């Protein structure tokens, strides 16, 4: 039997494959093979919806709380639904024997294809092939095609398709499964199915339109209903093509107008050819990869797995002017209920800042548009300014659940919403990083400065003065290491707060001197007193951080007095196993660390710490960290590179790279790990390629692994596109003049040279000219590693 979709799967370096059917991996594959375009996403389920399948159709930014402990991302009706039965037997991987099964996710073009051969209870075989995509060209459109051939007998088929409304959100703890939508309208007319649903909380209406036709030989027939019967002869092939349209609007908008417009748009797509639709979709993907693509020569599997991470960051990226952000499991699953954490700002935002800056801007606008909610949270907690929630959804209010399961399966009370306050500074860190990389003054004037000053206000009210020690403290917090709750003076939190205050003071004076009208407008808008600004300068240097004589930073007060525990056992990925003889509930009594905490601080604020401080702290904390968060390996890889522990850096990179492609944490079924995707990108680009910001200057100092020949990639910097080719001994750069960034004060004149520090030397580059810079050291001084 010929492979109908072979032409879409010819580039092996871009193909993620499933060979054979393994039932226990069904949930993992559904997450891995997810499709999306930023507007909405769909889990990579099998079309026949086999037993234990978990369909997931998620629209960016649409949440609901009815029936749940807290607001959660809504699982909407599933359009990728196509069931076929023959004489009472369902053609299904669970119901029938599977003789052959292969699925391929083409990450270059966002296409999922399949080829399965089934055998029924009477020994009759069926060749089943399918292909699907969610259009990156027309983001309201999805397309699926199925090819079925009975191989050794005629077949009487019953087809059931349409939009499946039997889906639900998964149950969590004491909650059962729940449905967050109700059917508003339902109809069938002119070869089209129509469905409209409302979220239970009445926040949004969603419109679906779908239709399909089938072709036997040269005869094309439009189906009049979602359920019908069809007869095929032996070796006779039928090709089903299903096209659907999805749109949404806030309740209160003009529903009838959107409904009418959706009909026009759906009809245009429905009357288009499959080849025409997929061609436009592929072209849109190739445009995205022209800037996002990375080639790693010499290690094809590493390159493919790294592209898998970029693919998943791309299918959840949406430039929607702050309507939504990106949850901890993207739009590929319901892990963490689709909530937004610091993962977005610290781990994902660098990728978007350098590759899709409009998406980065939209993610920051998500925070700005919920600034009033952050002010409310601060006020309710007894503070001033703006305090962002630890977990956020649609409104910007705190959505952290009260209860969750711990590592040992116990249900424990959650205090992160009350104490994990570092997220407020994390958001500002991402905002400032975006500003430095883009030079987007307009964004800062309209939104950024307000966030910066309101968060500085928060930290000013959050600190407490210790008159005995003559320093400011921040008490009752949880740092990134969540094994230790309700601690005082967590180094990460304190130093990020200090940095927040320092940057706010610096930028206030910048606009005061350079843009007095902007300054005056902000002072008036938020009622900022100049005395407050002087307080930022006075408080910041007095915020405490405990440091031993040997430069080791104490993670929090009395951490050094905690019980020392040596990690002795490791898993197949060289990651620490939980120490025997210590219960999880007693980890807080030890120096065991959940994830990068002090090490995270040293990486983010690398400019202000000496090489010696980084090295001694890395050595001190590396053997105490259990990496019980997917966020941890990437940060450790980056710090390992910084301090010269190159072998271990690659070890951590491998864990981060394979987190979802190999289901390292045994929970990929809940969705791919967003922070891990972004962290892996940072290791390759900021770490191995050595491209990062140092003291607000773009700096390149690569540390490429021995078996990598070179890395080729592009990134955007202050309105220009940099095309880079980096190997062990040289950096090749071409600056391509991008669309003039009228919001960038540093790029008002195209003739201005671009300053980049390469191998420690500051260079001035002219646009549209190629440069080659060689590393001026002997080969013996270039460390190489696996």
Dist CA 732 CA 773 (whole Å): 6
Tokens in use for 122? 């009477």
Dist CA 496 CA 394 (whole Å): 26
Dist CA 611 CA 665 (whole Å): 32
* Closest alpha carbon to 455 in 542, 546, 532: 532
Alpha carbon separation from 148 to 83, 112, 132, 409 (Å, rounded): 12, 17, 15, 45
* Contact between residue 544 and residue 489 where contact means Cβ atoms under 8 Å apart: yes
Report the catalytic residues: 482
Q: DSSP letter for 244, please.
A: E
* Contact between residue 663 and residue 335 where contact means Cβ atoms under 8 Å apart: no
DSSP 766-782: -TT-EEEEE--S-GGGS
Dist CA 706 CA 295 (whole Å): 16
What are the residues whose beta carbons fall under 8 Å from the beta carbon of 362, sequence distance 6 or more? 318, 319, 320, 321, 322, 323
* Closest alpha carbon to 586 in 412, 387, 464, 449: 412
- For CA atoms 67, 68, 74, 75, give the dihedral sign: negative
Which residue matches tokens 């740092």? 479
Which residue matches tokens 């939104």? 447
- The DSSP bridge partners found for residue 134 are 142
Dist CA 221 CA 612 (whole Å): 73
* Contact between residue 697 and residue 765 where contact means Cβ atoms under 8 Å apart: no
Tokens in use for 418? 């009350």
**711 CB burial (10 A radius; 0-12, 13-18, 19+):** buried
**249 CB burial (10 A radius; 0-12, 13-18, 19+):** middle
Query: How many CA atoms within 13 Å lie on the side-chain side of 215?
Result: 11
Q: What is the 3-state secondary structure (H, E, C) of 108-158?
A: CCCEEEEEEEEECCCCCEEEEEEEEEECCCCCCEEEEEEEEEECCCCEEEE
Dist CA 325 CA 446 (whole Å): 19
* Contact between residue 31 and residue 660 where contact means Cβ atoms under 8 Å apart: yes
DSSP 352-380: HHHH-HHHHHHHHHHHHTTHHHHHHHHHH
Alpha carbon separation from 236 to 36, 154, 230, 242 (Å, rounded): 33, 8, 12, 20
* Contact between residue 205 and residue 196 where contact means Cβ atoms under 8 Å apart: yes
Sheet containing 89-90: order of strands = 89-90, 83-86, 155-160, 227-232
Q: What is the 3-state secondary structure (H, E, C) of 155-170?
A: EEEEEECCCECCCCEC
Alpha carbon separation from 274 to 134, 281, 739 (Å, rounded): 13, 11, 34
Query: How many CA atoms within 13 Å lie on the side-chain side of 300?
Result: 6
């Amino acid at each position: 039997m010929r492979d109908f979709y072979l032409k879409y799967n010819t580039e092996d370096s871009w193909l993620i494959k499933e060979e054979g059917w393994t039932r226990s991996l069904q949930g993992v594959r559904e997450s891995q093979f997810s499709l999306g375009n930023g507007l909405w996403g769909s889990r990579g389920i099998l079309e026949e919806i086999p037993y234990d399948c978990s369909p997931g159709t998620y629209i960016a930014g649409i949440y609901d709380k009815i029936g749940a402990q807290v607001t959660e991302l809504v699982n909407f009706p599933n359009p990728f639904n196509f069931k076929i039965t023959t004489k009472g037997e369902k053609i299904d991987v669970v119901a029938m024997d599977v003789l052959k099964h292969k699925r391929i996710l083409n990450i270059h073009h966002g296409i999922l294809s399949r080829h399965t051969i089934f055998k029924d209870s009477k020994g009759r075989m069926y060749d089943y092939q399918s292909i699907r995509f969610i259009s990156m060209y027309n983001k309201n459109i999805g397309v699926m095609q199925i090819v079925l051939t009975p191989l050794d007998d005629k077949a009487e088929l019953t087809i059931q398709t349409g939009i499946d409304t039997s889906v639900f959100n998964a149950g969590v703890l004491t909650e059962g499964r729940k449905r967050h939508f109700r059917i508003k309208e339902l109809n069938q007319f002119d070869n089209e199915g129509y469905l409209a649903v409302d979220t239970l909380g009445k926040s949004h209406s969603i419109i679906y339109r779908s239709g399909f036709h089938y072709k036997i030989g040269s005869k094309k027939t439009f189906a009049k209903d979602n359920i019908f019967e069809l007869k095929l002869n032996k070796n006779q092939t039928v090709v089903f093509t299903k096209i659907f349209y999805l749109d949404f609007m806030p309740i209160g908008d003009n529903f009838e107008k959107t409904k009418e417009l959706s009909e026009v748009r759906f009809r245009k797509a429905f009357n288009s050819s499959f080849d025409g639709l997929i061609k436009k979709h592929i072209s849109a993907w190739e445009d995205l990869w022209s800037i996002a693509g990375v080639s790693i020569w010499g290690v094809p599997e590493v390159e493919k797995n790294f592209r898998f991470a970029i693919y998943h960051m791309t299918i959840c990226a949406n430039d929607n002017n702050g309507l939504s952000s990106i949850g901890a499991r993207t739009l590929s699953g319901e892990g963490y209920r689709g909530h937004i954490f610091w993962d977005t700002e610290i781990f994902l935002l660098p990728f978007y800042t350098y590759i899709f800056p409009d998406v980065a801007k939209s993610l920051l606008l998500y925070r700005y548009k919920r600034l009033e909610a952050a002010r409310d949270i601060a006020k309710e907690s007894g503070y001033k300014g703006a305090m962002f929630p630890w977990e956020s959804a649609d409104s910007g209010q705190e959505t952290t659940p009260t209860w969750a399961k711990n590592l040992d399966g116990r249900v424990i009370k959650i205090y992160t919403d009350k104490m994990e306050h570092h997220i407020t500074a994390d958001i500002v860190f991402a905002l400032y990083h975006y500003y430095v990389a883009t030079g987007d003054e307009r964004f800062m004037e309209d939104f950024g400065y307000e966030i910066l000053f309101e968060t500085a206000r928060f930290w000013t009210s959050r600190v407490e003065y210790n008159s005995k020690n003559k320093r400011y403290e921040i008490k009752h917090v949880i740092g990134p290491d969540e094994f230790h709750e309700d601690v005082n003076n967590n180094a990460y939190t304190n130093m990020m707060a200090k940095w927040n205050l320092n940057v706010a003071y610096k930028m206030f004076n910048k606009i005061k001197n350079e843009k007095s009208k902007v300054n005056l407008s902000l002072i008036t808008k938020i009622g900022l007193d100049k005395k407050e600004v002087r307080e930022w300068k006075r408080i910041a240097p007095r915020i405490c951080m405990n440091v031993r004589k040997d430069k080791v930073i104490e993670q929090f007060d009395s951490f050094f007095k905690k019980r020392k525990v040596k990690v002795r056992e490791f898993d197949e990925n060289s990651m620490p196993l939980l120490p025997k003889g210590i219960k999880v509930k007693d980890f807080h009594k030890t120096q065991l660390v959940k994830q990068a905490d002090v090490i995270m601080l040293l990486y983010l604020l690398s400019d202000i710490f000496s090489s010696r401080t980084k090295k001694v702290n890395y050595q001190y904390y590396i053997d105490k960290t259990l990496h019980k968060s997917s966020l941890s390996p990437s940060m450790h890889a980056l710090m390992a590179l910084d301090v010269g522990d190159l072998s271990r850096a690659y070890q951590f990179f491998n864990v981060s790279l394979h987190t979802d492609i190999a289901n390292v944490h045994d929970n990929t079924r809940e969705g791919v790990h967003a922070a891990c995707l972004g962290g892996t990108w940072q290791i390759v680009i900021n770490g191995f390629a050595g491209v990062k910001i140092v003291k607000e200057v773009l700096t390149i100092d690569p540390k490429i692994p021995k078996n990598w020949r070179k890395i080729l990639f592009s990134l955007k910097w202050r309105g220009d596109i940099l095309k880079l080719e980096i190997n062990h001994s040289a950096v090749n750069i071409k600056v391509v003049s991008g669309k003039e960034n009228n919001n960038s004060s540093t790029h008002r004149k195209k003739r201005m040279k671009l300053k980049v520090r390469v191998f420690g030397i500051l260079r001035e580059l002219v646009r549209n000219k190629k440069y080659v810079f060689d590393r001026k050291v002997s080969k013996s001084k270039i460390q190489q590693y696996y």
